[in-house]
Amino acid sequence: MIEASNLTKDYGDKRAVDGLTFTVQPGVVTGFLGPNGSGKSTTMRLILGLDAPKSGDATVNGRHYRDHPAPLHEVGALLEARSVHTGRSAYNHLLALAQTHGIPKRRVNEMIDLVGLHDVAHKRSGQFSLGMGQRLGIAAALIGDPKTVLLDEPVNGLDPEGIHWIRNLLKGLAADGKTVFVSSHLMSEMALTADHLIVIGRGKLIADTSVEDFVAHASQKVVLVRSPDLARLQETLAGPGVSFETAERGALEVLGLTPEQVGDAAAAAGIALHELTPQQASLEEAFMHLTKDELEFGAQLEEVVA
Amino acid sequence: MTAATPAASRVPQLEHTGRVTFPRVLLSEWTKFRSVRSTAWTLAVGILLTVLFPVLFATVTSSHWGQMSPQDRANRSPLDIALAGVNVAQLAIAVLGVLVITAEYSTGSIRSTFTAVPKRLPVLWAKLLDYAVVSFVVMVPAVLISFFASQAILSRHDILQVSFTAPGIARCVIGGALYTTMVGIFALALGAIVRNTAGGIAVFAGIFFVLPPLMFTLPQSWNNAISQYLPSDAGRQIFALQHGQHTLTPLAGGLVFAGYCAAAIVVAAYLLHRRDV
């Protein structure tokens, strides 16, 4: 179990994490979703005690990470940034980690086989592809058979086969009762892997919900309307849970209302409609809609969609 | 390169649950130390420089002895020749000392290291101890070889002979190894403070190679009073046979240098504990 309460972190003038409070439960895969630069990696570093929070607190299995006598048995972490000496072999990297806890060499070999790096275990890890580096990172995360697993963008650089493997691995860990906290900037990936979602943007919590609810919310109808008097239509339709997006000229996307509701409201107000088309929002669109206001740079939008 | 073997999707359990202890961190750091190429290379360079210079000087001195003035001959000391390499080799030892910690930052492996040992300080103690033992164990034979090899070369002309058991000689020779070891410790602490390879080496070079000559720009009396307390000058007394009016004794010099090392370690430990990784 991971508990963050009011976690806040500044880098210079920039607030990277802003009052985050959430709990990650054991037995399920919890997706940590947010656009690039939204503070996911920082949050993970705060949980691991690599960075100190400005204020607030993060604990793992009831204690600060630093206070665990055997941290690798509590938490296994794959960080986004490379965390391996490029001149050291995968075997020696894992061995050095294992030795800090007196974990036997047998386990090192077991992990190398698990992630499929057997043939390259004694080569310098600097020669590894991104995907192989990820596999090594996953081996390092699992070496202590931890109760909690924290993976930052684990599918980065993996081929389709590798992505499939990691999904099953994460589900298997959750089925074993472990706490699995995995970040991604891809909603579609999370929808396939995660049971629960924690969504952040600009360091702030946006949503803490089950994937089921998120999908249900996301697949609500979006209605495209065309009218000569869009401004008045928008005024008429405005209400709690209703939002608008300007589509092409003279058209408006209405979220949160059914086509019937839109049509009836327009008729009641005497507004002419030239088009009324129900549309299906994809998960990715729903995620973008959710985090749109929190995005710092328009360019990042493309990464989210990619 | 591609990963050829298929990966399993179920994580095997681990019965064993050990906790982090200092001996374990020490072993882990030793594994890291011996498993990168820079270690062997830099140590080899250190040994080579330690031995090469005395052999060269002894050879040149032997061949020129006949043409040298009595004044020149009197200025030659067998110990200076035997330990001529130490001043050069210290740079290799210092570079490796800096690298032991800064390479972790440049490659990012420090994040793995501090995830495994989140209390952090045991990592610093383990690195210092591992490196101190290694550099001493490597440098003792190097200075012994330097001494006996240079003596053997000089003995062919029967010049500048001195016994290892003569007063102060053994202390100076072993002192050469002790000094380089302390240099390595000092450099490692600097590396932990600066966290950058180039920066760490630059700071070390500044303190050991730039600061001492700068002292000559001071008035003579100031230079005399201050220079002896510089890390380099104080430390060098450990392997100096003769001591002037403005140099410390071997013990005092060694203690002053040890004080600098301790101060650097304290600052490094404080920063390591406090700073974000």
Residue at which a domain ends, from A210, A235, A251: A210
What is the predicted pLDDT for the residue at A287? Answer: 75
pLDDT tens digits for B26-85?
Answer: 999 999 999 999 999 999 999 999 999 999 999 999 999 999 999 999 999 999 999 999
Chain A nearest C-alpha distance from B236 (Å)? 34
Total number of domains in chain B:
1
- Mutate which of B28, B112, B117, B123 to test chain A, going by most A C-beta atoms within 10 A? B112
What is the predicted pLDDT for the residue at A143? Answer: 96
Residues A11 and A134 in one domain: yes
In the predicted model, is pLDDT for residue A302 greater than 50? Answer: no
Q: Rounded CA gap, A132 and A139, in Å?
A: 10
Chain B nearest C-alpha distance from A219 (Å)? 32
For the residues of B40-72, what is the DSSP string, one character each? HHHHHHHHHHHHHHHHHHHHHHHHHGGG--HHH
Domain that holds residue B208: 40-51+79-140+166-274
Q: Which residue has the tokens 């691991």?
A: A48
Closest CA to B272 of B93, B94, B29, B102: B102
Residues A166 and A222 in one domain: no
Q: Rounded CA gap, A281 and A11, in Å?
A: 36
Residue at which a domain ends, from A210, A240, A266: A210
The two tokens of residue A288 are 């973008």
Q: Which residue has the tokens 């403070």?
A: B193
In the predicted model, is pLDDT for residue A306 greater than 50? Answer: no
Q: Rounded CA gap, A2 and A24, in Å?
A: 5
B155 interfaces chain A, CB cutoff of 8 Å = no
- Does the predicted interface ipTM exceed a cut of 0.95? no
Residue A65: its chain B contacts at CB < 8 A? 118
Nearest chain B residue to A96, by CA? B28
Q: Do A113 and B5 touch (CB under 8 A)?
A: yes
Residues A142 and A223 in one domain: no
Contact, A217 vs A206, CB < 8 A?
A: no
Q: Quick one: which H or E segment has residue B81?
A: helix B78-82
Contact, B86 vs B143, CB < 8 A?
A: yes
Q: Do A77 and B115 touch (CB under 8 A)?
A: yes
| B1 located within any domain | no
What Å distances lie between residue A133 and A82, A94, A127, CA to CA?
8, 12, 9
Closest CA to A50 of B123, B20, B275: B275
Task: Over range B113-119, report the average pLDDT.
Answer: 97
Domain that holds residue A26: 2-210
Residues A285 and A147 in one domain: no
What is the predicted pLDDT for the residue at A248? Answer: 77
pLDDT tens digits for A74-123?
Answer: 999 999 778 999 999 999 999 999 999 999 999 999 999 999 999 999 99
Residues A201 and A228 in one domain: no
In the predicted model, is pLDDT for residue B212 greater than 70? Answer: yes
Q: Which residue has the tokens 């002896």?
A: B228
| B56 located within any domain | no
Question: Which range in A199-203, A264-268, B31-35 is most confidently predicted, on average pLDDT?
Answer: B31-35
Q: Which of B12, B31, B118 sits opposite A96 (nearest CB)?
A: B31
Return all residues near B29 (Cβ < 8 A) that are at least 6 apart: A96, B123, B126, B127, B130
Residues A67 and A177 in one domain: yes
**What residues 221-280 of chain A have any CB closer than 8 A to a CB of chain B?**
none
Residue A100: its chain B contacts at CB < 8 A? 20, 24-25, 28, 116-117
CATH number of domain containing A301? 3.30.70
pLDDT tens digits for B174-187?
Answer: 999 999 999 999 99
What is the crossing angle of helices B109-116 and B86-107, to 10°?
Answer: 80
Nearest chain B residue to A175, by CA? B10
In the predicted model, is pLDDT for residue B115 greater than 60? Answer: yes
Residues A205 and A224 in one domain: no
Contact, B112 vs A83, CB < 8 A?
A: yes
Residues A189 and A232 in one domain: no
Contact, A218 vs A194, CB < 8 A?
A: no
Residues A176 and A248 in one domain: no
Pair type for strands A14-24 and A75-78: unpaired
| B125 located within any domain | yes
Residues A36 and A153 in one domain: yes
Rg over alpha carbons for chain A, rounded to the nearest Å, is 23
| B218 located within any domain | yes
Contact, A283 vs A300, CB < 8 A?
A: no
In the predicted model, is pLDDT for residue A277 greater than 90? Answer: no
Residue B29: its chain A contacts at CB < 8 A? 96
Total number of domains in chain A:
2
Contact, B241 vs B172, CB < 8 A?
A: yes
